[in-house]
Structure 1
């Protein structure tokens, strides 16, 4: 549990990265804006495109630069800022001109679009020879048409935040199962508190937050079935009817629910590690985090940035060395966790004492290997991802808001997505 402010880095990143994570990544940095063609030139320069603007994230990029340059005499790393909303277009346009960065950090959920757009180089050969490959769960590997195009060295994911003061008052422990969560929400409501905050927007943010609860009932995109989908929607709708979850969540993105949580009148919040700073800055109560209580079937999407080699990198071998020495390195991942609040993707980095001894980072790190799922679901064809996510977000929102019965919302959603999924 925590009440004391955490590092300044966590506060700043929590405030700014929340909006970034709404796109399931982050935005901004320092450096000259990319023009679409500046690469290393094969002269010992590693050009790295990113979209970070938050001071601590920019500082992390500088740290990675200094780390690599100090270990490679004569090599220069150039961090180049590209606005988040321009990254994909600039990468694909550059690839069309057979140029672009040596390394790129991008919204991991966009890996398929960038790979199919010709902007990323396959990494199969490098990964096949990488001695630490077994430290990474499959859920952080982005494979398209049988080839690996990107890896996530760190992730962002959902956890269950709890107000420890409320739980102590009503005499319950942080839940480990959905049934325990419901019992705790009932006790909180009886004491005059709200049970849970979440996002119910009818789009990809809603799908992102719905997925743990739907998958807990056995729903998955590989073999979509109406029964578990209806069960997940019905359970969440029951939370609304019980008064544990506000019907207003249908208009809330992932920022508003956490503001409601830090105001102090809610027992739980389904939200992510990107809220570490917001919690430290705004919560005037003891709080903590536990893994999402979604059982053996449930999964949680692993968001965050993918790291990849540009399709027209001047020196792909040097670009791969950069990735190995920075975002894929265990010590670097631990440092990023401490400095920025990113959750290590590597098993050994997640088990480092600096992470496991941190009462807020540890539950997220524990969830990566046990609950983590690739985002977006690999069984969704790349060209259908946006439509499927929107459809499922609409079903989630309609059920929560009472516009549709859970059975009707599930039936309508499946009818819409099954053709896209090949069903």
Structure 2
């Protein structure tokens, strides 16, 4: 690594990485294997410690290694742990050959000089949906390619809605959704649950409503932003959403919905397996925009990236490995395993043909947006922190939505 890159690394706070991880990914613990000295061995670090040796994911890594004529030394880390280790390894010029990282971390690592751009490493991203690729772009350059995406939508309990006399096809915007919640409450059931906790998870869950109002992360105090926070505040005031949302994680919010009394729950693709175990008929609806249509929800999921190496001769093989992992068939297999929506229209079509339940998720992903898009990069974590603080202040009653967002914008500036 060039000395200038090392200097940039020294300026990156590890807390920035921690702040943007964990909103939509699983976690666990991994080993701390370093890169082997054998030039025929390539190291891969990923955030999937739940996949042990013999799993489909590890088999795929080995198969791609064999195709490229090299051996793979793979380590699975906790999501935030992986990002921090990537920064430290780069400082020591000991980066992995391939990093699979949570998408909002890409811009942080890129700005720190950890990653090569696709312009430099020649990785082909032409088939990737532009809105998903944007999560890995910074200062006009692209760093890596998405291996899959997940996002948020509304799960709904068909029985609860039927008993309340709600036709799900009538729910097209905020007004009709709120009217549905009123009917559900009048029928003696519970309305909607979500996560508004004071962490990145809270921001992650608020963003579809924020963006669905037409708000921008660079203007937290806009009238559109106030309308989104007022919507949530009014739902709590009317009893359409429980006060527990203030402390709910996405997991505890799901547990509330799984109890069978709630009409709606905002959650992600990663709950599909749990939805099938819930014991009641459910459906999925993209989060509606304020005036209709699908709101942009934030994308979760990972990017396959190629870190900067002192030995630039390794890039060609690293590119072969990344290309193999994100080939059409391998994307289909991997994203099915991870409950992800593929990042290309070609594979998305194949997924829906195999499983019609994925159709609303594909629609949601096509409307989705990266949290660091709009060239926010490493400023996103600062904005997000103020956003979740504003949500907490408004929902707890400490401040009005307008005052909470005014304070948030002032703090960001």
Q: Normalising by structure 1, what TM-score?
A: 0.84
Paired residues of 2:193 and 2:257 also in contact (CA < 8 A): yes
* 1:268 corresponds to 2:264: yes
Q: Residue in 2 aligned with 1:414?
A: 409
Paired residues of 1:163 and 1:268 also in contact (CA < 8 A): yes
Q: Residue in 2 aligned with 1:115?
A: 110
Q: Residue in 1 aligned with 2:152?
A: 158
Return the offset for 1:78. 2.3
Paired residues of 2:221 and 2:406 also in contact (CA < 8 A): no
The alignment partner of 1:343 has SS state of: coil
Give the alignment partner of residue 352 of structure 2, picking from 351, 355, 362.
355
Cα 1:204–1:21 shift into 2, 3 Å: closer
Alpha-carbon separation, structure 1, partners of 2:21 and 2:181: 27
- Deviation per CA, 1:163-216, whole angstroms, max 9, x where unpaired? 011122223233332222212211111111111000111232111111111111
Q: Residue in 2 aligned with 1:62?
A: 58
Give the alignment partner of residue 306 of structure 2, picking from 306, 309, 314.
309
After superposition, the CA RMSD in angstroms is: 2.5
The alignment partner of 2:115 has SS state of: coil
Q: Residue in 1 aligned with 2:324?
A: 325
Alpha-carbon separation, structure 2, partners of 1:274 and 1:57: 22
Q: Residue in 2 aligned with 1:180?
A: 176
Alpha-carbon separation, structure 1, partners of 2:340 and 2:234: 34
* 1:402 corresponds to 2:393: no
Q: Residue in 2 aligned with 1:5?
A: none
Alpha-carbon separation, structure 2, partners of 1:58 and 1:403: 52
Return the offset for 1:235. 1.4
Q: How does 1:96-115 map to 2 (within 5 A)?
A: 96-115=91-110
Alpha-carbon separation, structure 2, partners of 1:324 and 1:397: 43
The alignment partner of 1:155 has SS state of: coil
* 1:365 corresponds to 2:394: no
Cα 1:219–1:229 shift into 2, 3 Å: same
The alignment partner of 1:351 has SS state of: helix
Q: Residue in 2 aligned with 1:12?
A: none
Q: Residue in 2 aligned with 1:374?
A: 370
Return the offset for 1:39. 5.2
The alignment partner of 1:245 has SS state of: coil
Give the alignment partner of residue 143 of structure 2, picking from 140, 146, 149.
149
Return the offset for 1:93. 2.0
Cα 1:21–1:188 shift into 2, 3 Å: farther
Alpha-carbon separation, structure 1, partners of 2:188 and 2:354: 34
- Deviation per CA, 1:91-111, whole angstroms, max 9, x where unpaired? 222222222211011222111
Cα 1:349–1:394 shift into 2, 3 Å: same
* 1:34 corresponds to 2:33: yes
Give the alignment partner of residue 140 of structure 1, picking from 128, 133, 151.
133
Q: Which runs of 5+ in 2 are unaligned?
A: 1-19
Task: Identify which range, 181-190 or 310-319, moves more after superposition.
Answer: 310-319
Pairs aligned (count): 387
Q: How does 1:203-282 map to 2 (within 5 A)?
A: 203-281=199-277
Paired residues of 1:164 and 1:287 also in contact (CA < 8 A): yes
Alpha-carbon separation, structure 2, partners of 1:98 and 1:69: 22
Cα 1:169–1:22 shift into 2, 3 Å: farther
Give the alignment partner of residue 386 of structure 1, picking from 366, 381, 406.
381
Alpha-carbon separation, structure 1, partners of 2:317 and 2:164: 57
Paired residues of 1:29 and 1:51 also in contact (CA < 8 A): no
Cα 1:93–1:338 shift into 2, 3 Å: closer
Q: Residue in 2 aligned with 1:7?
A: none
The alignment partner of 1:33 has SS state of: coil
Cα 1:40–1:143 shift into 2, 3 Å: farther
Alpha-carbon separation, structure 1, partners of 2:25 and 2:215: 25
Alpha-carbon separation, structure 2, partners of 1:116 and 1:311: 12
Q: Normalising by structure 2, what TM-score?
A: 0.86
Give the alignment partner of residue 47 of structure 2, picking from 48, 51, 69.
51
Give the alignment partner of residue 287 of structure 2, picking from 279, 285, 292.
292
Cα 1:104–1:178 shift into 2, 3 Å: same
